[in-house]
Amino acid sequence: ALIVTGIRDQSTTVLQETLTKAGHRVHVTEEPSADLNREKLAAYDVLVLKDISTGAGSVWTPENRQAVAAAVKEGTGLVVLHQASAGFNDDSTGNREYGRMIAGGRRGSAKTDGPRDLDVTIQKDHPVTRGIGSFRQPAEKLVRSPQITDGSQVLATVFDGREQDEPVVWVN
């Protein structure tokens, strides 16, 4: 698995450790602009998009988007987490294609709750989550109300503490 992020933080480390303990071979890139090309992506069975950041080296070029789209179209698995579900969310053509590729995401305005510990419930009947148990994510913000495309399967949820379980990981 390749975790794609523009920033390494505590949640990236927790994700890498969790996937590794579950038996996955995991690498992390903090420089998507350098690493998201067809040659490098061919080495991975699944891409885990965690953040779409705007720091130096983390801005995706049109070529990066094309390489990821091609890899996914050719059978590379795609898991979208955290801020990556809100990436490229204006209404330009390339961004609409990204939204379809990630099976929805956080589009437009969404309610954000401040940082707090969140209990993450994992659906264990999917190859992506096999071997991963539910866990607590410390000091995380919850962005609610994703738009998920028809046919998607939710793999992880968090209880928002007040209203309902919120999808945080899904596949299509």
pLDDT of residue 53: 62
Q: Encode 123-161: b = buried (16+ Cβ within 10 Å), e = exposed.
A: beebebbeebeeeebeebebbbebebeeeeebbbbbeee
Yes or no: say if 47 and 77 are a contact pair by the CB < 8 Å rule: yes
List the Cα angle 127/132/136 in 5-degree steps: 140
Yes or no: say if 158 and 165 are a contact pair by the CB < 8 Å rule: yes
List the Cα angle 49/140/64 in 5-degree steps: 15
Does position 108 have pLDDT exceeding 60, yes or no? no
Confidence at 112, pLDDT banded by 50, 70, 90: low
- The predicted model gives 42-70 an average pLDDT of 82
Confidence at 121, pLDDT banded by 50, 70, 90: confident
Confidence at 90, pLDDT banded by 50, 70, 90: low
Yes or no: say if 129 and 123 are a contact pair by the CB < 8 Å rule: yes
